Structure 1
Amino acid sequence: MANGSRQAAWEFFGAELKRRREDQGLTQVELGTRVFVSGGYIGQFEQAIRKPQLDVAQRIDEVLGTSGFFERTWRKLIDDTRYADYFAAVVELERTATKICEFAPTLVPGLLQTAEYTRAVTLATSPFAADEYIDEKVSARMERAQILSNATRPEYWTILHENVVRIPVGGYEVMADQLEHVLTLAGERKMLVTVIPHSAGAYAAMAGMITLMEFDDAPPTAYTEAVYSGNLLDDPALVKRMRATYDLLRVAALSPKASLSLIESAAEDFRRCEGTT
């Protein structure tokens, strides 16, 4: 679904929510209380500024007696079989974010991955998968990455742990290509990258993967991910804590210039290793 038609569909979602809420004689605050979000969030759903999470859409159906209408609409708009259930909503939010900040402790973030790096990661986690499945995952990730090439691309910051730079995912050639891709994106000023070195000690082990997103007309959100699970957080107190953690990681990172030098040196090392195999 194109971005324009997707936005129009969310506007329909919001208009229906407003109509059916008013039919029940409920204010935004009253409905929000019953579905465990603020009245302001209900207003943002109705204006198509923010998209509800699935459990909120389900509770709206329960409160308004809409027989699953909002859950079905949500699934049609946000679900994408190419992504894990817990990640589909994040992909939707990335498309409208004005700023994205990520910390990657083990792998290059998806928005920065090359096709061959993605293929290597997917094969490692799904060694018995069919070629069609692997191709679909690679295609989906490359499509996501297009937001960094759009005229309206978000301001993108990423902090990589040095492990990300040193582990030869996919082999020496694939890893060298991947690091050179990161350097190219940084050189084109499409992103800003810093690296937390091994010498940072405890800082390097203080957090798992973190994504922070900001928007023009909606509150910020945070996303964390573990093995086969993810949490999209929009509670202001939790988002604030995640931001504080990210700020501590930034303090521990090398300067942008030193970080690029480290990435370039690692890419050169992989090229040399490639030549000896």
Structure 2
Amino acid sequence: MTDGTGGACGSPGSGEPEVSDSLKTFGEVLKAFRKRAGLTQEQFAERVGYSLQTVAKIEQGRRFPQVDFVERAEEILDAFGTLRGAARHLSRQPGLASWFRQWARLEAEAVSLYTYECRVVPGLLQTEAYARAVSFSVPPLPDEQELNERIAARIARQELLATCRKPPTAFSFIVEQAVLERHTGGEDVTRELFDHLVEVVERHWNVEFQLMPLRQSVHAGLDGPLRLAETADNHWYGYSEGQENGRLITDPKEISRLHQRCAKMRSQALTPEDSLGLLKRMRGAL
């Protein structure tokens, strides 16, 4: 199921992962290696290139450590692979494809999230019925438990849209008009999806939604879907996904190229205002 899994405001800690035994264990191990190296949290934060607040939350088990954080900590603390090994056990989440889990962790902490999709409506914007229809479209068909886990994980991710998060994430979505013209799941599912998209765009000031028109003679997204995420520490990551796989992108040169493509597509797609107008007209035609 594409998008790896296929908002209302929560508790004061919404936007951060629920504290789990594996997160707390990783935090304790990190703290032990930091103290072994004779570093205060402030000194370690400066060396690893992350804020003191982020380091504190990771040690408390309240934040997932990012990929480059783990790699830098390994080198700085001379942890002989212990931190890297422990981090591999932090991303087990039912309903998320194994290749998507690292990105889901970054997505949960992002302050900016850019998405271009040419296959399906992005998971953060899907309805339950649409997610179900997508899942049943791609063989092999899931059993009931697997399907329910996929949908639950996808709907749970949509809490990220909430403007009550501190700071709220800034979203930019570019979706091919052809994706909506496909009417995945039939007319009833499509009507509900269009109504949901209009509501999300009109209600969430932090969501920018653009449609790429059917006819576009010059298109910067011909290499396929892409995502970019900026964390609270102003680190950028990219992600690309294909058949049965996904790739986390950390190389600055690759991320620069993705930024260039994304910026070009934002100028090529319809404006947010025109996109909303087209979306409403498409809904009215059903």
Shorter-chain TM-score bucket reads 0.7 to 0.9
Is the 1:223–1:230 contact (alpha carbons within 8 Å) kept by the matching residues of 2? yes
The structure where helix makes up a greater share of residues is: 1
C-alpha displacement of 1:201:
2.5
TM superposition shift of 1:9: 6.6
- Cα offset for 1:263? 1.3
Counting only pairs closer than 5 Å after superposition, residues 43-192 of structure 1 correspond to structure 2 as 48=58, 51-53=65-67, 60=74, 64-65=79-80, 70-72=84-86, 74-152=87-165, 153-190=168-205, 191-192=207-208
Unaligned runs of 5+ in 2: 1-12, 40-46
Contact 1:80 1:88 in 2 (8 A): yes
Do residues 243 (structure 1) and 262 (structure 2) align?
A: no
How many aligned residue pairs are there?
A: 260
SS state of the match for residue 77, structure 1? coil
Equivalent residues of 1:24, 1:64 under 8 A apart? no
Work out which structure has the larger RCO, using CA pairs closer than 8 Å and 6 or more positions apart in sequence. 2
Q: Deviations over 1:175-222 (max 9, x none)?
A: 121122111111113411111112213407523111111122241111
Structure 1: where are the runs of 5+ without partners?
A: 27-38, 272-277
Deviation at 1:71, TM superposition (A): 2.0
Q: CA RMSD in A?
A: 3.6
From 223, 238, 241, the equivalent of 1:222 is 238
Paired residues of 2:112 and 2:231 also in contact (CA < 8 A): yes
Aligned to 1:36: none
TM-score (norm 2): 0.76
Map of 1:196-275 to 2, 5 A cutoff? 196-203=212-219, 206-269=222-285, 271=286
Cα deviation, 1:19-78, whole Å, max 9, x if unaligned, reads 43674799xxxxxxxxxxxx6469998564872439x66x959x7346x56424x24422
Q: Which amino acid aligns with 1:230?
A: G
Q: Which residue type is aligned with residue 122 of structure 2?
A: P
Shift in alpha-carbon separation, 1:239–1:14, aligned structure 2, 3 A: farther
Q: Distance in 2 between matches of 1:136 and 1:265?
A: 34
What CA distance in whole angstroms lies between the structure 2 residues aligned with 1:144 and 1:179? 19
Question: How much does 1:15 deviate?
Answer: 5.8
Distance 1:11 1:43 in 2: 19
1:14–1:46 Cα contact (<8 Å) kept: no
Number of the residue aligned with 1:33: none
Query: What TM-score, normalized to structure 1?
Result: 0.79
TM superposition outliers: structure 1 runs of 4+ over 6 Å: 42-45
Q: Distance in 1 between matches of 2:23 and 2:231?
A: 16
Cα distance in 2, alignment partners of residues 50 and 134 from structure 1: 26
**Counterpart Cα distance in 2 of 1:79 and 1:41:** 26
